[in-house]
Chain A
């Protein structure tokens, strides 16, 4: 077997193993989908009336791409906690003692977590449609929007894989990632327009890739106000390109780094 074929075959075995867990522990999927539903409902009905938007768009349309982005980015933190758990339980030791591909455990993990994100995003989209969100673009653009969200989250998964390998305690991984992911998603255009931010924070938010993935998704779903000006910052002018650049950089850095760390890591 060529080494690429071997890596793919091993990764498929690990992906299957991770997805079996989802099937056996339905609570996982219930909580993975309940919290986004809760967020959609809370923001839509609690903040929806208080946030000033330019005329021509309702808050549900503005909100949903933001919730999508926040949810898939949070979804990718599962990768870190799961890797830490495997490490704690000695499974990583077992895998490392097998003559299998050195990348397969991480590929299988991140792919399975991307699968979970597909489920979450589907549930959220359906909830969104129920509370007034609409896709006002072509099917191709809409699919592009979903793919961009998933690809960006996939890259974050690799970053979280490294965190899981280094931190080694699932609870700590969770807390640590909340500390990073909350500011990143809230200091963005996900829930409120950037015009309301103080200037320093506004600049940060403009260059924050979470803002651009949200902006790109809004454009691809047709959830922007036609003719309304887009902020002048370069990332927001080219949100899809800027997001893909970040995705590529994160993958280029964290795939090799995580695999390298995995090769040297051991339990306890």
Chain B
């Protein structure tokens, strides 16, 4: 249902039954997803899950074996050129020419979008300013830090004011400060109405930037929804704490059990107590009251809401940042005999 409207919203990206095989490996095994115009979709999954393959198909770099995809109402195979004119892509590693200056890089991309020379230059200047690169505008990109390169890369993908922007792991490899800066830039773009498909291994990143999420693992969608919906799948909040001496645990369990909505989970080896609860801070206050006299032994007590790491662990049985060594995304054999 391309461009079908849900509550007046049009879908900027529609993906149906996408299958992609690389030799004997099935990288995508029937992926469906939609992204409403003006929204941000977080595509989550571990290394090798197929995130980049989805992005490559949607940006016309790779042809799917089965299924179809539309971007901005255009078929990615039939209308590939029109799709390219409507999108921006920032890949996993900053694809800037390191011998050109920041300005020259942006001017080149502008010219390749067939902007007239003066407009390409004006746009380059504008974007350098927006991404805090004015001071480095006339230095070869070779001399840029990782964060600066990534900003230049995103700037390049914005030259043509794309309606749909693809960000493939935009903060992988960045230091925390650069990552925060990048998040602010992305949030600004989203506020400006750009439709964004963002892939990431960092659940915190998706939690912060994405309106909706699709979780894929081994080429299949295993969950979708808002962050809250996904968290709800894993369960509600838990009361957790650690004690200095495991011998104290049994009495505590007895004292606290009535507060739980389910059986407490006690790990003697790590001296850790965990119990599903509901009721928020009141429960915490009540728990502290009941533990009165034993609080000296307790540290790290709190209510923990599930984060997306818990979601991932619950859905896939492995943590998000585990490197899936046995099903790493294979080298793209679009061309046979590729040697790496």
Task: Encode A133-166 as 1/0 by CB contact (under 8 A) with B.
Answer: 0000000000000000000000000000000011
A252 adjacent to chain B (CB < 8 Å): no
Q: How far is the CA of A169 from the CA of B281 in the complex (A)?
A: 58
Across the interface, name the chain A residue whose C-beta is closest to B142.
Answer: A24
B93 adjacent to chain A (CB < 8 Å): yes
For A9, A93, A98, the residue with the greatest tally of chain B CB atoms inside 10 Å of its CB is A98
Mark out the residues of chain A between 1 and 46 whose CB falls within 8 Å of any chain B CB in the assembled complex: 1, 6, 9-10, 13, 16-17, 20-21, 24-25
Whether the pair A13, B335 counts as a contact (CB closer than 8 A) is no
A266 adjacent to chain B (CB < 8 Å): yes
Residues of B within 8 A of A94 (CB): 89, 91, 95, 109, 156
For B92, B104, B114, B332, the residue with the greatest tally of chain A CB atoms inside 10 Å of its CB is B114
Whether the pair B93, A261 counts as a contact (CB closer than 8 A) is no
Q: In whole Å, how far is B159's beta carbon from the nearest beta carbon of chain A?
A: 9
Q: In whole Å, how far is A9's beta carbon from the nearest beta carbon of chain B?
A: 7
Interface of B is mostly: loop
Mark out the residues of chain B between 92 and 140 whose CB falls within 8 Å of any chain A CB in the assembled complex: 92-100, 104, 108-109, 111-114, 140
A256 adjacent to chain B (CB < 8 Å): no
Interface of A is mostly: helix
Residues of B within 8 A of A100 (CB): 112-114
Whether the pair A93, B99 counts as a contact (CB closer than 8 A) is no
Residues of B within 8 A of A20 (CB): 99-100, 104
Question: For this complex, into which size category does the number of interface residues on chain B fall?
Answer: 35 or more
CB contact under 8 A between A268 and B331, given known A13-B112, A94-B89, A98-B109: yes
B7 adjacent to chain A (CB < 8 Å): no
Whether the pair A167, B339 counts as a contact (CB closer than 8 A) is yes
A199 adjacent to chain B (CB < 8 Å): no
CB contact under 8 A between A10 and B112, given known A93-B89, A97-B87, A98-B84: yes
Q: How far is the CA of A135 from the CA of B134 in the complex (A)?
A: 53
Residues of A within 8 A of B140 (CB): 24
Whether the pair B84, A90 counts as a contact (CB closer than 8 A) is no
A95 adjacent to chain B (CB < 8 Å): yes
Q: In whole Å, how far is A168's beta carbon from the nearest beta carbon of chain B?
A: 6
Q: In whole Å, how far is B79's beta carbon from the nearest beta carbon of chain A?
A: 11
B56 adjacent to chain A (CB < 8 Å): yes
A-B contact count (CB 8 A): 95
CB contact under 8 A between A95 and B99, given known A166-B335, A168-B339: no
B319 adjacent to chain A (CB < 8 Å): no
Mark out the residues of chain A between 79 and 100 whose CB falls within 8 Å of any chain B CB in the assembled complex: 89-91, 93-100
Q: How far is the CA of A165 from the CA of B94 in the complex (A)?
A: 20
CB contact under 8 A between A95 and B62, given known A20-B100, A90-B93, A167-B339: no
Q: How far is the CA of A91 from the CA of B332 in the complex (A)?
A: 16
A172 adjacent to chain B (CB < 8 Å): yes
Q: In whole Å, how far is B213's beta carbon from the nearest beta carbon of chain A?
A: 24
Mark out the residues of chain B between 57 and 109 whose CB falls within 8 Å of any chain A CB in the assembled complex: 59-63, 81-82, 84-85, 87, 89, 91-100, 104, 108-109
14 A-B pairs in the complex with CB atoms less than 8 angstroms apart: A6-B114, A13-B112, A17-B108, A24-B140, A90-B94, A93-B89, A93-B95, A94-B89, A94-B109, A97-B61, A165-B335, A166-B338, A168-B338, A268-B331
New A-B contacts (17) at CB < 8 Å, excluding given A97-B84, A166-B337: A13-B108, A13-B112, A17-B104, A90-B94, A90-B95, A93-B61, A96-B60, A97-B60, A97-B87, A98-B112, A98-B113, A99-B81, A99-B113, A100-B112, A172-B339, A266-B56, A267-B332
A→B interface (CB under 8 Å) = 1, 6, 9-10, 13, 16-17, 20-21, 24-25, 89-91, 93-100, 104, 165-169, 172, 261, 264-268
